[in-house]
Chain A
């Protein structure tokens, strides 16, 4: 069988795609894999890709640092279904025996990683926020928040291989793509016929415009919590977000109260975000919220309560009424924009 020499350990990244479009978390994971490889001498960073007519994603992956991409291209894989994807990936794992296998902790990836880990009977650590190589044991040390973010746990998988982990989008930085890159594509067959897959997609309802919030990759987020007072208050936040070219976020209590849709929720049970600017208005800052937004470059918090925990993570905290502060921010941002006629607005 495949005898893996110590100097050829594979670090695999699942290249998640839907409708032929790669999910950026795949590139974030390739970046992480490279950092792991630096501490695991002789290891190689490789991508694994499943789908139909998706070879262009392998080319993209080379630019983000994959040296090789294993590709199963088959019509059965046109639409994501965990059975054929799990089957195909498990077979690749059995054949090539990677040491580490990283998957994005997206709705798709979390289920898929679990299916593979169960088929292979190996360890899987969910929703990691930090990946490292244990310096003594030379194994993956996967750190994740638990108990609603109150505790961090570093998980090890000592004997079983591959060591699997999922990582949320935006927890890790997006690497710069290389201008020139190339690599090898290794094609493998799926070995599963359509008739063997029991479930059928009968209908797809794309999320409507209001639901389609690209929170995770937004550069500016203006988020509101209970302090906003009522659903109408989010209009004010939306106006400021619009002026700053950003989107509106929310804390869990206001989503649970139905003031704004789940698509806007930031935090442990919502999205992890990494904007350049995060404005938290009327958000008390429970740990569950903070774990989702503390990676922002600059955090401005506005709250009437000087003891609100959001101030613990804020770069600048304003103790005051958001209904005074936000309108003034809107005024001054408008003024700033007018003096900069070429900039501003809802640009990319």
Chain B
């Protein structure tokens, strides 16, 4: 049972701040974390390894700093970690990213067979949810998105039953392996890393892959050259003009609530409050 998990190191977007004068992101002091959905994918891979034996490989494309994220995955129980890093990969959009990850996974597969490819459902910085489906398409493996549970797994028959969340409910799919899953957080809850993992991680050196070795990526398919989309401009969202704010007190409560309903009626937001608004309007 060999799982390959693709992860991304992201800024903790709940801590991102904007410089109000320049309108740019303040990155200093913003902690880099493993994309939360990816951490749950790693956890699933570790659980499957505990149950069925085998191995967990984690893979990331990013700056050299991304080795930190790989080390955290080793702490979680991953066996092998690869950081694909090179300035030539910079400014990659999802098409260029899925090319690099797919080629890297092919190289891993050439060394040893892979049963499961795991991705978080999306990254919290870009929120595109495009890279996992792109990699599955490039590799020609079945793609199951928004997975919430692996119900059963049959290493001999090389099939799995996977629960996927859709807008209408949960679909249970039977898929041959290898397959690619993009996962929700429910797929596996993250426990505390056991001590032996921490000791292993403390000494672990992730493999560093560049744009030329051990895999020679095609230069015009990576980075900015391999990216059909470019950022035309970036800006902070224009603030909406705030309405009135009123302090509620015990004495004013009834009046303030009546006024709120009056305004809701005036705005036409609730049908049966509309006549109320007219009546109130006439009496004022």
Q: Which residues of A contact B (CB under 8 A)?
A: 18, 82-83, 86, 106-108, 110-111, 113-115, 117-119, 121-127, 134, 141, 145-160, 198-207, 211, 219-220, 244-245, 268-269, 275-277, 286-288, 291, 294, 297-300, 306, 311-321, 324-325, 328-329, 332-333, 336-337, 339-340, 343-344
Contact with A along B245-277 (1 / 0, CB 8 A): 111111001101110110110011111110110
Expressed in whole angstroms, the minimum distance between the Cβ of A17 and any Cβ of chain B is 12
Q: Could you say which interface size class chain B belongs to?
A: 35 or more
Question: Bound complex: CA of A124 vs CA of B131, how far in Å?
Answer: 11
Question: Bound complex: CA of A144 vs CA of B273, how far in Å?
Answer: 35
> CB distance A152 to B272 under 8 Å?
no
With A108-B167, A158-B230, A288-B14 known as contacts, the answer to whether A313 contacts B240 (CB < 8 A) is yes
Q: Which of B25, B257, B268: most chain A Cβ within 10 A? A: B257
Q: Which of A294, A316, A324: most chain B Cβ within 10 A? A: A316
B229 on the A face (CB < 8 A):
yes
Expressed in whole angstroms, the minimum distance between the Cβ of A159 and any Cβ of chain B is 7
Q: Classify the interface of chain A: helix, strand, loop or mixed.
A: mixed
Q: Which residues of chain B come closer than 8 Å to A124, judged between CB atoms?
A: 94-95, 130, 229
> CB distance B94 to A114 under 8 Å?
yes
Q: Which residues of chain A come closer than 8 Å to B229, judged between CB atoms?
A: 123-125, 155-157
With A123-B228, A126-B128 known as contacts, the answer to whether A150 contacts B239 (CB < 8 A) is no
Question: Bound complex: CA of A60 vs CA of B142, how far in Å?
Answer: 32
Question: Bound complex: CA of A157 vs CA of B95, how far in Å?
Answer: 12
Question: Bound complex: CA of A182 vs CA of B273, how far in Å?
Answer: 39
Q: Which residues of chain A come closer than 8 Å to B272, judged between CB atoms?
A: 336-337, 340, 343-344
Q: Which residues of chain B come closer than 8 Å to A319, judged between CB atoms?
A: 245-248
Q: Which residues of B contact A (CB under 8 A)?
A: 11, 13-14, 16-18, 25, 93-95, 98, 124-131, 133-134, 136-138, 142-146, 161, 165-176, 179, 182, 227-237, 239-240, 242-250, 253-254, 256-258, 260-261, 263-264, 267-273, 275-276
> CB distance A134 to B254 under 8 Å?
no
Instruction: Give me 16 A-to-B residue pairs in the complex whose CB atoms sit less than 8 angstroms apart, sorted by A's number.
Output: A107-B165, A107-B166, A110-B133, A117-B94, A117-B95, A119-B137, A125-B229, A150-B236, A151-B237, A158-B228, A199-B175, A205-B169, A206-B168, A316-B243, A320-B249, A332-B261
Question: Bound complex: CA of A207 vs CA of B169, how far in Å?
Answer: 4
Q: Classify the interface of chain B: helix, strand, loop or mixed.
A: mixed
Known contacts A114-B133, A314-B245, A339-B276; 5 additional CB pairs below 8 A are A119-B137, A219-B269, A313-B240, A317-B242, A319-B245
> CB distance A151 to B94 under 8 Å?
no
Question: Bound complex: CA of A300 vs CA of B273, how far in Å?
Answer: 15
Q: Which residues of chain B come closer than 8 Å to A315, judged between CB atoms?
A: 243, 263, 267
Expressed in whole angstroms, the minimum distance between the Cβ of B278 and any Cβ of chain A is 12
> CB distance B273 to A123 under 8 Å?
no
Q: Which residues of chain A come closer than 8 Å to B233, judged between CB atoms?
A: 153-154
Question: Bound complex: CA of A127 vs CA of B129, how far in Å?
Answer: 10
Q: Which residues of chain B come closer than 8 Å to A83, judged between CB atoms?
A: 142-143
Q: Which of B13, B124, B231, B239: most chain A Cβ within 10 A? A: B13
Expressed in whole angstroms, the minimum distance between the Cβ of A110 and any Cβ of chain B is 5
Our pick among A108, A123, A205, A329 for the contact of B170 (Cβ within 8 Å) is A205
Expressed in whole angstroms, the minimum distance between the Cβ of A234 and any Cβ of chain B is 20
Expressed in whole angstroms, the minimum distance between the Cβ of A23 and any Cβ of chain B is 8
Our pick among A117, A154, A328 for the contact of B253 (Cβ within 8 Å) is A328
Q: Which residues of chain A come closer than 8 Å to B256, judged between CB atoms?
A: 318, 325
Expressed in whole angstroms, the minimum distance between the Cβ of A330 and any Cβ of chain B is 10
Expressed in whole angstroms, the minimum distance between the Cβ of A63 and any Cβ of chain B is 23
Expressed in whole angstroms, the minimum distance between the Cβ of A266 and any Cβ of chain B is 15
Q: Which residues of chain B come closer than 8 Å to A268, judged between CB atoms?
A: 127
> CB distance A297 to B269 under 8 Å?
yes
Q: Which residues of chain B come closer than 8 Å to A198, judged between CB atoms?
A: 142, 175-176
Question: Bound complex: CA of A124 vs CA of B228, how far in Å?
Answer: 8
Q: Which residues of chain B come closer than 8 Å to A151, judged between CB atoms?
A: 18, 25, 234-237
Q: Who on chain B is nearest to A112 by CB? A: B133
Our pick among B124, B228, B254, B260 for the contact of A157 (Cβ within 8 Å) is B228
Q: Which residues of chain B come closer than 8 Å to A107, judged between CB atoms?
A: 145-146, 165-167
Expressed in whole angstroms, the minimum distance between the Cβ of A41 and any Cβ of chain B is 22
> CB distance A318 to B246 under 8 Å?
yes
Q: Who on chain A is nearest to B279 by CB? A: A339
Expressed in whole angstroms, the minimum distance between the Cβ of B153 and any Cβ of chain A is 14
Q: Which residues of chain A come closer than 8 Å to B254, judged between CB atoms?
A: 328, 332
> CB distance A277 to B248 under 8 Å?
no
Q: Which residues of chain A come closer than 8 Å to B16, judged between CB atoms?
A: 147-148, 150
Q: Which residues of chain B come closer than 8 Å to A160, judged between CB atoms?
A: 228
Q: Who on chain B is nearest to A165 by CB? A: B229
Expressed in whole angstroms, the minimum distance between the Cβ of A62 and any Cβ of chain B is 25
